[in-house]
Amino acid sequence: MENWETVVVETDLLICGGGMSACGAAVEAAYWAKKNGLKVTLVDKAVPTRSGAVAMGLSAINEYIGYSKGENTCEDYIRYVRQDLMGIARDDLVFNIARHVDSSVHLFEKWGLPIWTDENGKYVREGRWQVMINGESYKVIVAEAALNAMNEAGFEVYERVFICGPIMDGDRVAGAFGFSTRENKFYVFKAKAVCAQMGGAVHVFRPRSVGEGLGRSWYPPFNSGSTAYFTIQAGAEMTCQEIRFIPVRFKDAYGPVGAWFLLFKSRATSAEGGEYMAVRKDELNNWAPYGLVKPIPANLRNYLGMLDTDAGLGPLYMETAEAIQKLADEYKDDPKAFKKKMKVLESEAWEDFLDMTVSQAILWAAHNIYPEQKRSEIAACEPYFIGSHSGGSGAWVSGPEDLDTPYKWGVGDKVYGNMTTVKGLFTAGDGSGASSHKFSSGSHAEGRWAGKQAIRFILDNNEAPNISDDMIAELKEKCFAPMKRFEEFKGFTTDPNINPNYIRPMQFMFRLQKIMDEYAGGVSAAFKTSKALLERGLELLDMLKEDAEKLAAENAYELERCWENVHRMWQAEAHVRTMLFREETRWPGYYFRADTPKMDEDNWRVFVNCTYKDGEWVFEKKEVHHLVD
């Protein structure tokens, strides 16, 4: 567009994103870049202080090993993650995160994050791996440290700039292109390495919250699959694209349940009061060995609740009143102490939501729910793509050079950890696959690792990318095509929302969500799908991909929505194709292949990897290698 200024930014390392892993990359890369005379640039479509999955805050840090204190070992964490992912995890990546995560948590505390401690000064554990925090400002604290590191090194941070996609120089990443959502500026970032850390994806599937509730989700609605799109379009090998995550949360406001299960020791029950984890315990035998080892994988816990719902025993409930009462019972012989303990427990119950999901506290108030008096409804959410939590989707990245793993690579004889199969392209957090349960702290630690490794790569491969003026012109034309299309055809009809020449972004998103919901095992399909459904879904996605060329934007806001939907669409296609390739059901509770309803350990205890090359998807199996038994 003629009235959009072209701004070319040259840097050594480009960090795309502003969430926990990007902040980790920034704070680490800034240190090593300044030390070696290099330049780092960070670009975020929002503002890092309130960007990413931790934007609203958290009430707990979910990965803290306590290694130096002898509380747990990194090997323990490998076993935990592998168990929860039903055997499909990269031990090398999980170990690498585990050995660095405690240092990130200690940094958070140093930067000012309030972590709960007991009378002996030890962190208060919510569960084996979790520590409690006062975390409403968690992200602000972590982001400020990253921004300070960047500013002190004299590096630039670009806020409110949306990254559309990668720029390639042969088989090497050469930067990224995008636009400002606040000014009429088109950006080309030339870089010798890129950390693509723009989060996972939500709103690929139709959410439970529709109509006036549209936009409410458990995972942040502004995470639109940009990391997956970036890595796929760059030609990177992807892994575990079938492993989406479905959390069970308090219904409608998506309030967290972790504190209730782990700290308050609450039970989840059917409407009739049956505890489905006990009533349906025998079902776990069908998913051995994983169903027979504690902790029971998250997807199997989901699945047992879904069986109750399918049997007409819903809705499901969290027995909050019972849990609070039991915790206070030890003081029942002392009325004054009992009353005081009840007040403390009530306060902690509300604070859990006020720290991270204010809408749940509002919903409780609106529904006249007192958690100490009345149980509260829970439900399985719509599917999300989030490699940092209990899902596994992401890019296939190199393991660290010092571990005994077959999955490590680089350039020549040099290994660069967390580099994708594309030269110079690194990722972490939700962007790296098969290494789940890193959560916020692990994502930050992995981001630090990726940032340092990217600086190593640049020092060894310090050639400027080749990006011609003609390429820049083509990228600009591609970027603003939706706005040009709207201007060209908006007068064709009296209502700009109804036009045979284009499709508006909201209409496009609804169409994508309908396809995924009905054919790829969404909420309305009770998370079930089959070969026939997936094949029909792909037919409809192919048509949608054709119509993506007709997306139209009236302004910069809609232009961002158009590009977000393109990113979601590619994440959706990778997911459907990978589910179709894996001919078994391994993660019931996340999705159920009705035509292949059993787990097949002999043939499918493997990673399923895919690459988009020359307009075609290529799939292959990769062996699962263990570092520990």
- Catalytic positions, written as ranges: 62, 126, 218, 249, 352, 389, 440
Question: What would the two tokens of residue 204 be?
Answer: 């690929």
CB distance 40 to 28 below 8 Å: no
CB distance 533 to 516 below 8 Å: no
The DSSP output letter for 600 is -
Distance CA 240, CA 88 (A): 9
Residues near 102 by Cβ (< 8 Å), separated by ≥ 6?
Answer: 64, 65, 66, 67, 68
- 54: which strand partners? none
Distance CA 80, CA 458 (A): 35
Q: Closest Cα to residue 200, out of 55, 420, 392?
A: 392
Helix (H, G, I), strand (E, B) or coil at 34: helix
CB distance 503 to 551 below 8 Å: yes
SS (H, E, C) 409-471: CEECCEECCCECCCECEECCHHHECCCCCCHHHHHHHHHHHHHHHHHHHHHHCCCCCCCCHHH
- What is the DSSP track for 499-547? -TT-B-HHHHHHHHHHHHHHHTT-GGGTTEE-HHHHHHHHHHHHHHHHH
CB distance 53 to 219 below 8 Å: yes
Distance CA 85, CA 9 (A): 41
CB distance 422 to 236 below 8 Å: yes
CA atoms within 13 A on the CB side of 88: 29
Distance CA 619, CA 575 (A): 12
**Helical H segments across 219-271, by residue range:** 226-234, 258-262
Distance CA 121, CA 216 (A): 38
Q: How many of the other CB atoms lie within 10 Å of CB of 293?
A: 12
Burial of 109-122, coded b for 16+ CB within 10 Å and e otherwise, reads: beeebebeeeeeee
The DSSP output letter for 20 is H
The DSSP output letter for 211 is G
Q: Are strands 316-318 and 268-269 parallel, antiparallel or unpaired?
A: antiparallel
Distance CA 579, CA 431 (A): 19
Ranges of beta strands (E only) in 182-258 are 185-190, 193-196, 238-239, 248-250
The DSSP output letter for 490 is G
Question: Which amino acid makes up residue 275?
Answer: E
Distance CA 382, CA 80 (A): 25
Q: How many of the other CB atoms lie within 10 Å of CB of 278?
A: 10
Question: Which amino acid makes up residue 119?
Answer: E
